Structure 1
């Protein structure tokens, strides 16, 4: 399973240079479509779905879907049968906002950012995009036998796995299994991932002069503090272990609804605070219990903070499922195919479960068992990000092996 490594790296550099932070994927989507046509994919095989019309955040373009028909060698039907079932290769197009303004360059066997220390690079997940374009290029260039293949490039993965969540599985050509490219090492095969809720709470108090008549106010800040004191005391914050079950939680944002500071003067009792947080666990029911613990704590805290007339604060708590956990069995056909393909190119595959969310969470929910493997991403979401070109090359070869394995 050899690929044109120089051409693959050129594709990666080209993609890394295109802006496309989450929710602004148009330019990178157009570039990917152009690159696919350049390597010989027919224009009619390339299209966008309408997932962006269902995503509840501004999203100007849908998922990019490419369908490659089967290429079977001239042989008996019995020998060709192993190449019959359609398979999916997926990755996401967007990057985190920290990647805005990145400029890639090659240093030895790494791709780094010209502006290292100022912006992230975007290897997460332009490595995956380059792997999928290279897969199409090599299948066409080498004329290798393969089943029907669907390539899926999703939008808004970084801001909530929205592209994978809102896609219509019927658009994927009846695929029976999937392989998602997202991560560090090609030999690390992710067969399970955590589930998560995202939640927010609006805390309503009452403003008053903090020096003249603080007793007339209801402090939204104090409601937050009391709620978090309860959460901490009862063991629902950070790494959580309750009755043998494990999970995590975090508050990631405290301010107002417009992204500004909660409160704007020390001499005014804060009348409003907006909070955003998350709950995670490999146990779907436990995720809900963590979220419920936060909701109850905020409601109790609001009843405790009163003004001089006995009026209390008020909270509005909202939560939504971010993604469900999953765990594929080691003997599942998709896992066995991934293991055999990795071994075929000389890798020593390791099955792992991650505490982060992946597009695979929603693909599995859509009925497509999906294994995720890495493509050289390192120090993602930081200004020290780089791409390991040796791992990127392994990922390109692994994708080709997965596509052509009988």
Structure 2
């Protein structure tokens, strides 16, 4: 597969310069649409769905969906979907990308945004090269999702009617193009509101019930029981994290050192490739908080209370290696002289939801490295390989 490598790199640098943190994808979505038109895609096949009206958190725009008609000998083949996501994590705001040898690095104290502007550039390059080289290909649907970084919301609420029927999907959102991600973890998010009892910490601390101490005891129990961080129990494996410890309205837990804290809020997550084990991890945290409440009565025998809430963020999936989507992906990787490496991911992907929607989807890398950190960088040769891989996936007979 050949392509205009300079044009591809120019697109990537262009997209990296446009801010578009999760939930605020209007500007990058509009520029990707412009770039597609510049690449020869007809404006009337480019549009946005209304997922943002159904996503339960503020979101500027819907998913960008592009429907390319088939061409030539492959025009009547089953349609294929290519996807990526538009948003970046907030740490990428204000990124100043620069090329350093065979890498793109951040020129400031921010992350770079290679996750996932690399995917955006790959899909636009695919459309550009299909037009420039007049290549035969099946009908294609290009999907650029919103709010991937904050919970896979765009993929969850995508307008499947606008996508239309497709045989299989290829997602670009990782590091190495030779990696074929055939499955990923599922996850719960959970939160707990802890209600204690305020009292004067100097005059009558024994009458108070500290919400902060209940949180501390609960988290200590979870840690001691092996439920925090990497979790391995009886052959099952997963992870958990405590992400936020706060007070009302996002303020600090507690208002003053001389008042026993009467309210605290804690939120975290549980992950595993086994959804039953996701439930076990979350159950362990809930039990720890309930035990902590009982263990901390005040001098009058009163105890605090908790409200524990869990949400299923996304479901785990694992594609059968014999499925056509896996075989097609492996054949395309091999056609570039690379060695296919099927594997599972420990992070959630838009492919989690597309597979649940009935579109078996595998994920490939496009040169991302150390995402979500100020040390993030993009491997330019890997990015160029991803562009060639997309063309191979779209044109392989």
TM-score bracket, shorter-length normalisation: over 0.9
Partner of 2:96: 103
Partner of 1:212: 203
Partner of 1:85: 78
Partner of 1:360: 351
- For 2:60 and 2:292, locate their aligned partners in 1 and report how far apart those are by CA, in whole Å: 41
SS in 2 for 1:276: strand
How many pairs align?
397
Structure 2, unmatched stretches of 5+, are none
Partner of 1:128: 119
SS in 1 for 2:255: coil
Per-residue CA deviations over 1:285-327 (Å, capped at 9, x if unaligned) read: 1111111111122122122222222221011111111111111
One of 342, 354, 367 as aligned partner of 1:351: 342
Partner of 1:55: 55
- For 1:55 and 1:287, locate their aligned partners in 2 and report how far apart those are by CA, in whole Å: 24
| Structure 1 residue 106: Cα displacement | 1.4
| Structure 1 residue 169: Cα displacement | 2.2
- For 1:169 and 1:321, locate their aligned partners in 2 and report how far apart those are by CA, in whole Å: 21
- For 1:23 and 1:299, locate their aligned partners in 2 and report how far apart those are by CA, in whole Å: 35
- For 2:293 and 2:139, locate their aligned partners in 1 and report how far apart those are by CA, in whole Å: 57
- For 1:53 and 1:65, locate their aligned partners in 2 and report how far apart those are by CA, in whole Å: 16
Partner of 2:68: 68
Structure 1, unmatched stretches of 5+, are 74-79
- For 1:92 and 1:400, locate their aligned partners in 2 and report how far apart those are by CA, in whole Å: 19
Matched, 1:382 2:364: no
Q: 1:97 and 1:257, CA in 2 relative to 1: closer, same or farther beyond 3 A?
A: farther
1:309-324 to structure 2, matched below 5 A, reads 309-324=300-315
SS in 2 for 1:258: helix
- For 2:227 and 2:374, locate their aligned partners in 1 and report how far apart those are by CA, in whole Å: 31
1:33-48 to structure 2, matched below 5 A, reads 33-48=33-48
Per-residue CA deviations over 1:152-210 (Å, capped at 9, x if unaligned) read: 00000000011001113222120110000001110111111111101111111111111
Per-residue CA deviations over 1:58-82 (Å, capped at 9, x if unaligned) read: 0020100000011123xxxxxx58x
- For 1:339 and 1:308, locate their aligned partners in 2 and report how far apart those are by CA, in whole Å: 67
Contact 2:190–2:311 (CA under 8 A) maintained in structure 1? yes
SS in 2 for 1:228: helix
1:179-218 to structure 2, matched below 5 A, reads 179-218=170-209
TM-score normalized with structure 2 length: 0.98
* Worse-superposed segment, 94-103 or 252-261: 252-261
Partner of 1:268: 259
Per-residue CA deviations over 1:215-235 (Å, capped at 9, x if unaligned) read: 111100111122123222322
1:246-285 to structure 2, matched below 5 A, reads 246-285=237-276
TM-score normalized with structure 1 length: 0.96
SS in 2 for 1:124: helix
* Worse-superposed segment, 138-147 or 303-312: 303-312
Cα-Cα RMSD: 1.2
* Worse-superposed segment, 248-257 or 380-389: 248-257
SS in 1 for 2:249: coil
- For 1:230 and 1:110, locate their aligned partners in 2 and report how far apart those are by CA, in whole Å: 44
Partner of 2:6: 6
- For 1:173 and 1:87, locate their aligned partners in 2 and report how far apart those are by CA, in whole Å: 10
- For 1:176 and 1:285, locate their aligned partners in 2 and report how far apart those are by CA, in whole Å: 29
Moved over 6 A (4+): none
Contact 2:36–2:128 (CA under 8 A) maintained in structure 1? yes
Partner of 1:76: none
Partner of 1:302: 293
- For 1:380 and 1:241, locate their aligned partners in 2 and report how far apart those are by CA, in whole Å: 26
- For 1:133 and 1:195, locate their aligned partners in 2 and report how far apart those are by CA, in whole Å: 30
| Structure 1 residue 257: Cα displacement | 4.1
Q: 1:10 and 1:274, CA in 2 relative to 1: closer, same or farther beyond 3 A?
A: same
Per-residue CA deviations over 1:312-353 (Å, capped at 9, x if unaligned) read: 101111111111111111111000000000111111111111
Contact 2:248–2:263 (CA under 8 A) maintained in structure 1? no
